[in-house]
Each structure stands twice: as C-alpha cells, then as structure tokens.
Structure 1
Amino acid sequence: MKERNYTPLVTVLTVVIVALVAILFFLPAYDGEVGFDVKMLPLLNAIFNCFTFLTLVVALVAVKRKNIKMHRAFIGLAFLSTTLFLVSYVTYHYLTESTKYGGEGILRGIYFFVLLTHIVLAVVVVPLALMSAVRGMTNQVEKHRRIAKWTMPIWLYVSFTGVVVYLMISPYY
C-alpha cells in the first residue's frame, strides 16, 4: 500500500498560520466593542504556553519510558493548547495595538533576544510539529524520531520563552 504524502497539507497549513500571524502586525487595531476585557488574553496566552511546555515535558518522559499511548495523548494536549494559544493570540493582536517593551539596559537586550529567537523558532516549529505529528500518526517511526529530535527541543523553547516574554512585558500592558 502506498504511503500518502502529507507534505502539501503541512505546507499549506504552515503558510496559512504564519501568514495569518504576520498580517496581524500590519492591520490597524480593531476600533469597536468586544464585550470582554482583551487585556486578559496575554495572561491566557502565557497559561497556554505554560500548559504546552508541561504537556511536552510529560510527552517526552513518556516516550523515553516507551509509553507511546501516554506520549500520543500528551502530544495531542500540546497541540490543543498550542491551537488555543494561537486563537487567543490572533484575537488579541487583531483587537489591540502591540504593547511596547518599556524596560531599559541589559534587560531590554535580553528581552529582545528572547523575543526574536522565540518568534523565529515559532515559525520554524510549525512545519516541524505538523510533520512530526503526521509521521507519528502514520507509524513512520524512524522518520518521526529523526524529525522529533529537532521538533521537541524547539517546541519546548518556544513554549517556555512565550512565558518568559509575557513575564518580561506584562508590567507594560
């Protein structure tokens, strides 16, 4: 039986997700009423990032212990929390202007280094995570392992630094 090629689907999803987020930074802030306090969304984003980080750690421990069922369940939870993060993130950045970092000195440099690496690696992790998931779900174990050894540390870094970025910029919301 011929294996199905999911690369076009992963490519389309990656382009759509990255383009959607990129477009947000060129749109003016929404000027209408929304019916809730949008300033709660950055905290929610940090919570989703924290949950993603924790579920990835559990998934990593599970796979190291050869508990594939648990690994799959926690990777699924990581995808769920990442998706919820994305919805919340897009909503927040559609409804408001970006917050400027107000720190000075070395903290300013650290903040922008963490933010830049977070953004760049967030773009990189999208296709890696999608392709890792496809290869895992289709039982392409060796291909899954080869890509997952890159995906896991990058995804862990992105989710962890998402929380760090929030903690560093939260006084300026």
Structure 2
Amino acid sequence: MSVMQEENVTKRNYKPLIIAVTIIVNGLVVLLAGLPGVEGFDAFDVHILPMFNAIFNSFTFLFLLAALIAIVKRKVDLHKKFIYAAFITTSMFLVTYVAHHFLAESTPYGGTGVLAYIYYFILITHIILAAVIVPLALTSVARAWNMENERHRKIARWTMPIWLYVSLTGVLVYLMISPYY
C-alpha cells in the first residue's frame, strides 16, 4: 500500500483500549499470584491446566514462527492469519493460566543447584517480558489495522522476538516445573 493509500485510511485511536487491556491482564496476573487458590476444589484436576498452558504456548510459538516466515516472503495475508491464530492461542493460554492460578495454589520449583538457577532465570525473564508483550503485541496489531505500515514494522521488530521468547520460555517453565505438580 502506498503512502497515499495509507493516508486515506481512517485511523482509530486504540491507545485507551491497549492501556486498559494491559492494566487488566497484568493486574489480574499479579493479583492471582498472591491468592492461595480455591480450597477443596475437586470438579477436575486443576494441575492439567498448566499442560494446556504449555500446549497453547507451543502453538503460539509455531504460529508466530509461521507469521515471521510469511512476512519475510511478503505473504501479508498469510502473515495476518498466523498472527490472528497466535492471538487466539495466547488468549486461550490466558484463560487457562488465570483459571489455574485462581483454583490452585502456587507450585514451588523443587530443583536445586544449576538447574534451579536456570529455571529462575528463565522464569523471571519470562514473567517480565510477558508483562511487556501485552502492550507491544496490541500496539503492533493496532498499527497494522490503521495501515501505519512503517510504524508497525518498527515495533514489530521488537514485538516478534519478545513474543517468541515468551511463548517458548512458557513451555520451558512448564517442562521444568511439571514434575513438582
């Protein structure tokens, strides 16, 4: 799309929505981290939810990788489809993550030595970047929707590798802590 066509697109201000969603999502995660879980909940084994988290993160990673390959090959429509798929699996992750942390108490990591240092490094960087990726991903999509292609490219150069890292490390965190559920 040319610069002239970009100027003809009615631009929407997504900033208030991005700020609200970022505050709600990150606030909910922080709030749930301090809750003890629902005592006596036995409708199903809540420890299956982290496995779903890892599955959704795996799909997010694969969709993002496919989106990256598609855009490198200049297949914009395919890129969009994979990005939307990544948003869907990330949203599904968020639902199962919130449900697990609402229903179950936190599981401590039981490993020791070098593995514990590796686990906590991955976990801490994952948590920090997961909080950062919310507004980055939403801003990237908003800029694409507004046809602000150059601004979209500039932020997507940061968004894509961070989102890939967050989705991959989410799986690694699960694999490392799963023996302790």
**Aligned counterparts of 1:121 and 1:139: Cα–Cα separation in 2:** 26
Specify the alignment match of 2:41 in structure 1. Answer: 33
Pairing partner for 1:43 from 51, 55, 61? 51
Specify the alignment match of 2:148 in structure 1. Answer: 140
**Aligned counterparts of 1:61 and 1:73: Cα–Cα separation in 2:** 12
1:24-45 alpha-carbon deviations (Å, 9 max, x no partner) = 0122211243522111111110
How much does 1:101 deviate?
A: 0.3
**Aligned counterparts of 1:90 and 1:164: Cα–Cα separation in 2:** 19
Pairing partner for 1:4 from 12, 37, 58? 12
1:94-126 alpha-carbon deviations (Å, 9 max, x no partner) = 000110000010000000000000000000000
**Aligned counterparts of 1:115 and 1:139: Cα–Cα separation in 2:** 35
8 Å CA contact 2:41, 2:103 repeated in 1: no
**How many residue pairs align between the two structures?**
173
Q: How big is the alpha-carbon RMSD for the aligned residues of Structure 1 and Structure 2?
A: 1.1
Q: Secondary structure at the match of 1:101?
A: coil
**Aligned counterparts of 1:18 and 1:98: Cα–Cα separation in 2:** 17
| Aligned residue identity for 1:29 | G
Q: Secondary structure at the match of 1:160?
A: helix
**Aligned counterparts of 2:71 and 2:32: Cα–Cα separation in 1:** 37
State the 4+ residue runs in structure 1 displaced beyond 2 angstroms: 1-4
1:131-157 alpha-carbon deviations (Å, 9 max, x no partner) = 001111221111100100000000000
**Aligned counterparts of 2:42 and 2:88: Cα–Cα separation in 1:** 25
Pairing partner for 1:126 from 119, 134, 155? 134
Q: What stretches of structure 1 of length at least 5 have no aligned partner?
A: none
Q: Secondary structure at the match of 1:103?
A: coil
Q: TM-score, normalised by structure 1?
A: 0.97
2:110 equivalent to 1:110? no
Identity of aligned residues (%): 55
Structure with higher Rg: it is: 2
8 Å CA contact 2:35, 2:105 repeated in 1: no
Specify the alignment match of 1:83 in structure 2. Answer: 91
Q: TM-score, normalised by structure 2?
A: 0.93
**Aligned counterparts of 1:46 and 1:17: Cα–Cα separation in 2:** 18
